[in-house]
Amino acid sequence: MSQELQLRDYPIPEEKTMKLLIKLMALVGLIIPGSAVLAETPETYQFPRKCSMTDAGYSVPLCGKPITKTPVVASDPGSDNLKVYPEYFIPDQEKLAADEMRLTAVGSGNPPVRRGQASTSWLVELGNGDKFIIDAGGGTVPALWSLRVPLALLDKLFLTHLHLDHAGGIFNLWDSMGWARNTPLHVWGASGSTPELGVAAFVENVRKAGAWQTRSKTGIIASGGMELTAHEFDSAKFSPENPRMLVYSENGVKIYAFPVDHILIGAVGYRLEWNGLSVVYTGDSIPTVFESEQAHGVDVFIHELFIDAPTFAEKNNMPLMIAENVIDEHTSAEELGRVFSIAQPRLGVGTHYFTNDYTIDPAFKGIRKNYQGPVVIAQDLMVINVTPEQITTRMAKTDLLSWAAPAPMNGPPPKPDPAPTEGRTPEWVQATRFTME
Ligand SMILES: [Zn+2]
Ligand SMILES: [Zn+2]
């Protein structure tokens, strides 16, 4: 049994008592159902807008419905044994089956971070209890926290490349130190063409930039979570004879890295395999036959999708020439259709897209020129459950003001190291501290 499942079997007593109390008060008429106290449960949260359909019949973004016409992809469409999931994924209320994989679009966008669409990050959760974060772009970590995964379990980050819309959230993720994560944050990624362009240098520079953070917290919280550990694999070892590299193999989970065509050496895609299920995520890339083949026959293929240059230029007040330079490093809708037609995934996911009401139909129109299989366009907090029988895509409802999930506790809480004595707040400032009765 996983740590998470164990935790869920033991609800916090105070929470239980509180819920009972609220129920009792509602029963005797002290609280009107739907009043402020009851509204603090995630189930009652409303999405900000009503659903409407695009001309082509897709739900508009941010209305609680996945952007697809195939929310359920059944291996045997004639089967009457398909699992029916709740309409929304609500954290704390749904256990992952032992043979199931859950993928969550923690962030589905680009730079700059938008209020309704953060940059890029995916959470992979497996029925064996393992959890992996792939990319942690700017603005994505609040959504990750809202999924109520114990923060101690969010210690494995795989970076596809070092653009900040994929890696810029690392400070927020690292900042879960002390919040029950008292072990290092592990970061996997590729080397670059020079040492300073690799993931090890990136991680070391993050650690150095956090000097004030870690020094100031020493003595207050345990130091174990202040560590960052880089696991850099050597990009120079990729070749036509060695096109992919096993970079993680534990607990029945295998993660392979392979190079993608995105400007510099060091940009990679990952293929995760576990228990007969698989997912490929390629980060950003100019589409290639090679990367498409790396995803061949995969259950879920998550691939970037980029908007057309004229719209990108107009909406971002950018010269068309610069917009074209940017999109030249990415994948258009027509190209994504071609990628999926080579890979033939059970479900294709277009992500890293600007999801606005008017951008959805052009995306599907482009994809459909080359591919007719099941496709969704990701938005933040879209959840995909994967089993051999079916792939089900829904949206999550999470508490915008959620607290940290209960932490697995093994033994006594770790003790902080001695606090630094040098460099503290000047004594003449400290001398004016209030004395409260
Ligand atoms: Zn990107
Ligand atoms: Zn990029």
Interval 246-301: pLDDT, tens? 999 999 999 999 999 999 999 999 999 999 999 999 999 999 999 999 999 999 99
| Ligand 1: centre distance to CA 328 (Å) | 13
Ordered by start, the domain boundaries in the chain are 1-40, 50-398
| Ligand 2: centre distance to CA 432 (Å) | 50
| Ligand 1: centre distance to CA 110 (Å) | 6
| Ligand 2: centre distance to CA 129 (Å) | 30
Place of tokens 């499942």: 5
User: In whole angstroms, how far apart are CA 127 and each of 32, 101, 327?
Assistant: 39, 6, 37
Q: Which of these CATH numbers, 3.40.50.1980, 3.60.15.10, 3.40.50.300, 3.40.50.620, describes 50-398?
A: 3.60.15.10
**Confidence band for 205, pLDDT divided at 50, 70 and 90:** very high
| Ligand 1: centre distance to CA 165 (Å) | 5
Average pLDDT over residues 62-66: 93
Return the pLDDT at 48. 65
Number of other CB atoms surrounding residue 239 within 10 Å: 8
Instruction: Please enumerate, as own/partner, the contacts of 108-111 that have beta carbons within 8 Å and a separation of 24 or more.
Output: 108/351, 108/352, 108/353, 108/355, 108/378, 108/379, 108/380, 108/382, 109/137, 109/165, 109/352, 109/353, 109/354, 109/355, 109/380, 110/165, 110/352, 110/353, 110/354, 111/137, 111/138, 111/163, 111/164, 111/165
Q: What proportion of the chain, given as a percentage, has pLDDT over 70?
A: 89
pLDDT at 25 over 70: no
Interval 70-85: pLDDT, tens? 999 999 988 888 999 9
**Confidence band for 158, pLDDT divided at 50, 70 and 90:** very high
Residue 225 and residue 184 in contact, taking contact as beta carbons nearer than 8 Å:
yes
Distance separating alpha carbons of residues 50 and 23, to the nearest angstrom: 30
Q: DSSP code of 261?
A: B
Q: DSSP letters along 312-345, please?
A: HHHHTT--HHHHHHHHTTS--HHHHHHHHHHH--
Interval 377-436: pLDDT, tens? 999 999 999 999 999 999 999 998 999 888 776 778 889 999 999 999 999 999 999 988
* Helices of type H across 147-183: 164-167, 170-174
* Ligand nearest to C-alpha 285: 2
